[in-house]
Amino acid sequence: MKFFVDSADVAAIAELNDLGMVDGVTTNPSIILKSGRDIMEVTKEICSIVSGPVSAEVVSLTADEMIAEGRKLAEIAPNITVKVPLTWDGLKACKVLSGEGKMVNVTLCFSVNQALVAAKAGATFISPFIGRLDDINLDGLELISDIRQVYDNYGFETQILAASIRTANHVTQCALIGADVMTAPPAVIKGLASHVLTDKGLDQFVKDWAKTGQKIL
């Protein structure tokens, strides 16, 4: 499963990239706001660090405006993925932009039917939001599983990009289900290395080593 970083924090992205933990990056208007930087500037910097797809989201609501914004964003770098919302206008934009050879990430997916029409419109990625479904007492992971089955049934090449991931369990289950990609904030990705028994075992090793009175360096 590919790891995308859901962030515009350049330092955090670079740290994870140096460890081989970054296959791509996703951003959205809220993330850009949090960064406090110009969208074109920060996205260009991210693209210079990461060789994989970098999602930059349009902000208009009509198809023609989305297409124009998507073309502008795609000029930033060859690895830009234009991110559009899962609306009828968003699907129109997806069809045009993907037809021009641009990668398109269709976001804010909450149903199998939405994922189905996005695939038919030529989406490179579909982004189902796990955490937001969990927030309203629906099973976000079940949606990932259902989309996986439907895509496999018909050979759709659209990649499932599991989004709104908030816990390590979300990552585990998405990997078991067969999501192609997961995107998560840097803190969630770094947290995947943590386990209480690892911490406990390391603490014991440190104490026992101190008792030996030895040094390696």
Q: What is the rounded CA–CA span in Å between residue 45 and residue 182?
A: 22
Instruction: Identify the CA nearest to 186 among candidates 77, 1, 27, 29.
Output: 27
Please, is 101 exposed, middle or buried when counting C-beta atoms within 10 Å of its C-beta (0-12, 13-18, 19+)?
exposed
Task: Dig out the tokens for 92 from the structure.
Answer: 């129109």
Residues 6+ apart with CB under 8 A from 77: 43, 44, 47, 48, 54
Catalytic residue among 44, 83, 207, 211: 83
* The residue to which tokens 């500037």 are assigned: 41
On whether the CB atoms of residues 138 and 173 are closer than 8 A, the answer is no
Q: What is the rounded CA–CA span in Å between residue 64 and residue 60?
A: 9
What count of other Cβ atoms lies within 10 Å of the Cβ of residue 16? 21
83 among known catalytic residues: yes
Residues with catalytic function: 83
